[in-house]
Structure 1
Amino acid sequence: MIDKDLYDAIVIGGGPAGLTAAMYLARACYRVLVVEKEKFGGQITITAEVVNYPGATPQSGEELTAKMRKQAESFGAEFMLADVTELDFSNEVKVVKTSRGDLRALGILLATGAHPRQLGFEGEEEFKGHGVAYCATCDGEFYTGKEVFVVGGGFAAAEEAVFLTRYASHVTMLVREDDFTCAKEVADKARENKHITILTNTEVVSAKGDSVLRTLTYKNNKTGEIFNYEASDGDTFGIFVFAGYVPSTDLVKGIAQLNPQGYVITDESKQTTMTGLYAAGDVCIKPLRQVVTATGDGAIAATEMEKYLSKQREITGLSTTMPVKRASVHQEKSQSKASNNELLDEAMKQQLNAVFEKMTETLTLEMYLDEREVSQELQAYMQALSSLTDKLIIREGHGQVKERPYVQIRKANGEEAGFTFHGAPGGHEFTSFVLTLYNMASSGQPIDPSLKSTIESINKDVHMTIMVSLSCTMCPDLVVAAGRLASLNEHIHVDVYDLNHFTELKDKYHVMSVPCFIINDQQPAFGKKNVEQLTSLIMN
């Protein structure tokens, strides 16, 4: 019996391991869905240059994983952005509970990777977003002309220290060990950079300040000698922590066996101690955590999973719809590139059309422009979007308004929809803007009924100011969540600012990290949040 709502496999995590597994499974004619909560590509997307992936010329991690996704899509793999909240293995058909509703599958592959480790030094938690950061790509520009300390001696620390010299006046590396723990080639780039000082056997003791960092205390862990750094009068500095990663295995605690460090225990087939649950990539116990080993894990897990899925089809009597294979990725090369004058290539237009076809209401994108170049960018994006559908109408607003340029979403009746983007929604914010349009003009992304009822019951005015950077990989989740709230309740209004063009906000709130958000003029808060978390903050 064909079950149209059933997947053979659901892959949780859209990094190299998950993308590879999806490609193998789809190519073997299994229906597979990749669910990613943040950004497809995983941690490697923040790497500026991948030079050790066999057969590939040097390229960014984002470029490499974009090709992986496209290859998986060509074989029929499906993709969804959602936050997985719970797994249910009580029946032959497993249930994956997400922020967009429940999903069903015969088997599940965990490829959630790992997230940056916090060190726990005094001041680390207090100054998150005000001096302590974990993503150089996201936050590096906020430290232009300032002193920066990089904590760590591994691959990420060495690479990001070099990256940060683009902005910082000087970078000092605090390495706990006697030497770097990464490959010599990577470490040498940091050693040979005249803008980097390296202190080995050194650990952070504390970081202190007022609204931003003012002093740093660190020590030599062999001699015990204490050192103090103080920012010059009125200035601040940054601390970027790259001290390894913690496996993202909370989903399977109590379901599959983990080792004392939290990594998933698997057999040679990559199956965990829970039948039907496989794992691949950085969540697994392994001696080397690289893109090439992640893709290898994904391939092994997928091919071994095929045998399990075949048996499950027999046991349950269920089968899924065949994956829809697309034109060969090799044949698409000449068609996928946009002309020099276009923002959107053909592949992107197809994806957008699929979204716009589901919109039932018409929206007006009202632009307020100024003389800056970013206004031209904003106008170009809005024209590109509106050219694809009659559900989007663009017009230029007039009058004495501040904080230009911005685009304000209005409903068909002319009323404000509760969402305004200041700047041009490009980079990582393009997808979040499109999803917000979808949520405003349709039934929107699935949401738990009880949570939806709670949001709709809010009867007080709520204003959210969200500050982002277009290079930030964590910002889109927050923007989408806030936009979803605004789509469900007319009392909620959201203003999103690209801090690159509104530096006065950065200075006013001492913002040194993104995403940053403020609810009803309260204290700034930092970090990505989902719909449920934002709702809780508003209700409290």
Structure 2
Amino acid sequence: MPAIPDKDKQALKDRFKKELKNDVTIRLFTQRTFGLTIPGRECRYCDQTQALMEELAALSPKLHMEVKDFYSETKEVREACVDRIPAIVLTKGAGSNVKFYGIPAGHEFTTVLDDIVTLSRGVSPLSLDTRKKLKRLKEDVHIQVFVTPTCEYCPPMARVAHAMAMENNHIRADVVEVQEFPLVAQRYMISSVPKTVINNRVQFVGAVSEAVLMDKVLEAAGLSPEERTTPAFSTAPELGPSTRQSA
């Protein structure tokens, strides 16, 4: 059974043909099991994620797929700052600022699609004000956005975080499908999504505007926003059992 329904493939081909400009590499960090399961190295969704990304990459000559083994290709893992699998890195070259941990199913499939288009076109969806503020960042910033496939509030937060990482090389933005990583959920005490953690210093739950997220990034970096924006949080759904949707 295909990871992407046949009825959707032609629509994606048409979209990519129309919207993609430059080549984009989908770099997947996974594990090669050769039919064996090693205790302590189980990866429930690695095979499904690889199948999904391979089918996606096959829909356009401008998309290229690379598969890296998490346990044997340690240099690449270290350089990409990958600490769990499956991990998807989207890049136009050697960069690794834009990551998605887990299988991008449900609403999060659109996040990956939009990220690919944004990278390929090289046109930022961010406002001019946000791009000006991003230029103030001279130190590294790590944004983590925790999501689930059924959360409708999550993709906008994920896309803005990734767009910021595309705009400024000091930003590393990870979108994490938290139901696949229960230890991560425990560490950050995640009970509802989206939850955003920046530099392990600033964190909040709910969907906020681009301007508010920008202010939070500056706060985490120790910079004062030129103008404070009053947060306007959207109601976030409680984190519940996974009900995965087809990508």
TM bucket normalised to smaller: 0.7 to 0.9
CA deviation after TM superposition for structure 1 residue 352, in Å: 5.3
The 5 A counterparts of 1:487-506 are 487-506=166-185
The answer as to whether partners of 1:425 and 1:433 remain within 8 angstroms in 2 is yes
Q: Secondary structure at the residue paired with 1:494?
A: strand
Please state how far the C-alpha of 1:496 moved relative to its aligned partner.
Answer: 1.4
Q: Judging by fraction of residues, say which structure has more strand.
A: 1
Output one character per residue of 1:63-89: Cα deviation in whole Å (capped at 9) or x when no partner.
xxxxxxxxxxxxxxxxxxxxxxxxxxx
Partner of 2:36: none
Q: Counterparts of 2:8 and 2:142 in 1: how far apart (Å)?
A: 36
Distance in 1 of aligned mates of 2:201 and 2:105: 28
Higher RCO (CA 8 Å, separation ≥ 6 residues)? 2
Q: What are the residue-to-residue correspondences of 1:54-69 with 2, within 5 Å?
A: none
What percentage of aligned pairs have identical amino acids? 23
1:445 shift after superposition = 5.1
Residue 109 of structure 2 aligns with which residue?
430
Shift of 1:527: 0.7
Match of 1:364 in 2: 25
Unaligned runs of 5+ in 2: 32-41, 78-82, 220-247
Is 2:95 the partner of 1:415? Answer: yes
Alignment CA distance shift 1:351-1:394 (3 Å):
closer
8 Å CA contact 2:9–2:59 kept in 1: the answer is no
Task: From the superposition, tell whether residues 451 and 496 of structure 1 become closer, same or farther in structure 2 (CA, over 3 Å).
Answer: closer
Change (3 A) 1:445 1:355: farther
| Alpha-carbon distance, 1:405 to partner | 1.3
8 Å Cα contact 1:463/1:493 also seen in 2: yes
Counterpart residue identity of residue 390, structure 1: P
After superposition, where does 1:331-342 map in structure 2 within 5 Å?
340-342=1-3
- The CA deviation at 1:360 is 2.1
Change (3 A) 1:456 1:434: farther
Amino acid in the other structure paired with 2:14: N
Cα gap change, 1:457/1:498 in structure 2, threshold over 3 Å: closer, same or farther? same
Which ranges in structure 1 are unaligned for 5 or more consecutive residues? 1-339
Aligned residues: 199
Report the equivalent of 1:454.
133
Higher helix share: 2
Indicate if the aligned counterparts of 1:368 and 1:397 stay in contact, CA closer than 8 A.
yes
CA distance in 2, matches of 1:446, 1:494: 16
Q: 1:504 to 1:415 in 2, by over 3 A?
A: same
TM-score of the aligned structures, taking structure 2 as reference length: 0.73
Q: Which amino acid aligns with 2:166?
A: S
- CA shift at 1:375, angstroms? 0.6
Aligned to 1:376: 47
CA distance in 2, matches of 1:351, 1:410: 19
Output the aligned Cα RMSD.
2.0
> Does structure 2 retain, via aligned residues, the 8 Å contact 1:419–1:495?
yes
* SS of aligned partner of 1:441: helix
Aligned-partner SS, 2:54:
helix
Q: Which has the larger radius of gyration?
A: 1
